[in-house]
A = this chain, B = another copy of it.
Amino acid sequence: MVQACAVGQLTAMTVQTMTMDDIRDLAQQLRIDSIRCSTSAGSGHPTSSMSAADLMAVLLTRHFRYDWQHPKDPANDHLIFSKGHASPLLYSMFKAAGVVSDDELVNTYRRFGSTLEGHPTPLLPWVDVATGSLGQGLPDGVGVALAGRYLDDLPYRIWVLCGDSELAEGSVWEAFDKAVYYHLSNMTVIVDVNRLGQSGPTELGWDMDAYVARVGGFGCEPILIDGHDLGQIDEAMARAATSDRPAVILARTRKGRGFSEVEDREDWHGKPLPAEMAERAIVELGGERHVTVTGTRPQPGKPRQRPDGEVSLPRYEVGAKVATRLAFGQALAAVGARSRVVALDGEVGNSTHLEEFAKAHPERYFEMFIAEQQLIAAAVGLSVRGYVPFAGTFAAFFSRAFDFIRMSGISAANIRLCGSHAGVEIGADGPSQMGLEDLAMFRTVHGSTVLYPSDATSTASLVRAMADRTGVVYMRTTRGAYPVIYGPDEQFPIGGAKVVRSSNDDRVTLIGAGVTLHNCLAAADELAGRGIPARVVDLYSLCPIDTQTLLAAAAATGDRIVVVEDHYPAGGIGSAVLEAFSDAGHPVAIKHLAVRGLPGSGTPAELMRAAGISADEIVRAASETAGA
């Protein structure tokens, strides 16, 4: 195993001239660099990198088709480190590819301000998605592979390196399932089965038969190899590329491979080698070297272009009763005239009305079935390829994918999500189906936009705006049909709010969004009859929020404000309003009507009344607030 060959003087090699010995040397370099950068940083995962170094050396030199000088070349293959903690290995590959200098690798890894972060993020142009929360890179890869096969019509391949620990995540099996369903033979998964997790042996250890049975049982092609046998690796990658199924290379490896003091030893997860150990390791690995490799470039190719049509939004008559979820579907079908818009469904398209898009643009509609994590990940993967994905399910079920949504924020992915059936307003189905925390959840996401329109016109307008918005963009829609409030030419800028009703004598402001805006309007009617004129604000954009409109309403109504939301009290509309006032230095005590108990079944009216967010409750709260 010890290789004392003097390759340190080598500087650049082309794939054509590389022998297996050269590749072996490169693998040692990857190990050495993984050790060097993590030891220098004082943290990181060298041993998890060393186990996969042979795999990546063969990939980089013989199978990965990538123009390192042009990472945006649409014909490039994609490489996703689902085991993001093996970032030393990934960055060492970047050094070997000549795009990161040795100095940058060794002296900036994991340092403040460096793009060589502890776990990869797309701040690096060769990284598609942020990883580090296990079991996400693979599902993201499924999304990229969907784009390749069904939209781009390009032969690029998606290579995903997984750890063995992460195969305990259900999301990995959602990904295998969808890879098979969608015949994603353009994706090759490489599992680094090094047997050791963070705190001890993995669940399955080196029971390779168990991995074969599971992966094969799901319909992928399992390819079992010794992950340190370069010939076997090479053959497996070649075979994977010609398989008609998604291939999964199950590589039996040894954690810390190549340094006898740590190889296959427990208690070396996530620990850099102390300096003197690192020195011994480098000697054992044959000494520091600095080979750079010019890999194989892809065949030139352009993604299939489809013509864009004219977006003609649906128009709704004021007063007509239209559910915002229906308007969402209809508007999205219209926005689908733009050829890069795609839609993904969590097998509830007939509820969310995403099916309207499916009818209009079936070739850009992906049914992800009841697998919300994969739903989000596929959207992320499609956004990597520059598509404009919209994904839909019930508002409640986005909570299933919160970790994926959180990571989308870190990836700076551009994804648009629509959650229907929010709040107690859904009625008889009961609390399991009620999104009562979605607004709070999405508000936390880095760079997110949170929208909650009240009528069909504003919904349609905002759907169009979502397509052009970057980051994680969420829209909440309502199950029931309520009157259209706005004329078809009204504008709804993201970050705005509408004063729906006002007079010079307003004594209280009612703030609602979605269904509660209608309750606020009904309450305002009742209050007017009682001689308490009320201003009504439609807070259709929760994040960003229209602080100016809030301040103006507060000023006009003596800081008497009622906020009504079909959501649990913490973190939702009430919090957003309070934060806005506080940030503006103008604190206001709101009367906050929200869902405070655990709802059950019932009619929407019964449940809204019980939760204290109906028009009657608003009237009572507003009267009290107005001192009437």
Number of interface residues of A (CB under 8 A): 119
A268 CB, nearest partner CB in chain B, Å: 12
> Interface segment, A27-35, A99-107, A230-238, A594-602?
A594-602
Closest partner residue, chain B, to A109 (CB atom): B601
Q: Mark A396-421, 1 if CB is under 8 A from B, else 0.
A: 11011011001101101000000000
Q: How many copies of the shown chain assemble into the complex?
A: 2
Alpha-carbon distance A568/B440, docked complex (angstroms): 12
A346 to chain B, nearest CB (A): 9
Residue of B nearest to A181 (CB): B203
* Contact of A432 with B410 at beta-carbon distance under 8 Å, contacts A397-B403, A400-B403, A588-B582 already known: yes
Q: Which residue of B lies closest to A369 (CB)?
A: B168
Q: Across the interface, name the chain B residue whose C-beta is closest to A351.
A: B198
B contact residues around A218 at 8 Å (CB): 213-214, 217
In whole angstroms, how far apart are the Cα atoms of A169 and B372 in the complex? Answer: 8
- In the assembled complex, the Cα of A440 lies from the Cα of B448 at a distance in Å of 15
Within 8 A of B (CB), among A183-203: 197-200, 202-203
What residues on B are CB-neighbors of A402 within 8 Å? 399-400, 402-403, 441
CB distance A118 to B579 under 8 Å?
no
CA distance A582 to B131 in the complex (A): 39
| A112: contacting residue among B214, B367, B586, B603, CB under 8 A | B603
Minimum CB–CB distance from A269 to chain B (whole Å) comes to 9
Report the nearest B residue to A433, measured CB to CB: B132
Q: Is the CB of A165 within 8 A of B370?
A: yes
> Is the beta-carbon distance between B579 and A585 smaller than 8 angstroms?
no
Within 8 Å of chain B (Cβ to Cβ): is A4? no
Which residues on the B side are within 8 Å of A582 (C-beta)?
A: 574, 578, 588-590, 592
Indicate whether A277 reaches chain B with its CB closer than 8 angstroms. no
Interface: A570 (CB within 8 A): yes
Collect the chain B residues with CB atoms within 8 Å of residue A598's CB: 409-410, 412, 446-447
Given A117-B430, A133-B396: 10 more A-B contacts, CB < 8 Å: A41-B428, A112-B606, A169-B372, A217-B217, A407-B432, A410-B432, A410-B598, A440-B441, A578-B578, A583-B592
Give 8 nearest A-B pairs by CB, closest first: A170-B170, A217-B217, A132-B432, A112-B602, A571-B571, A587-B587, A437-B444, A400-B403
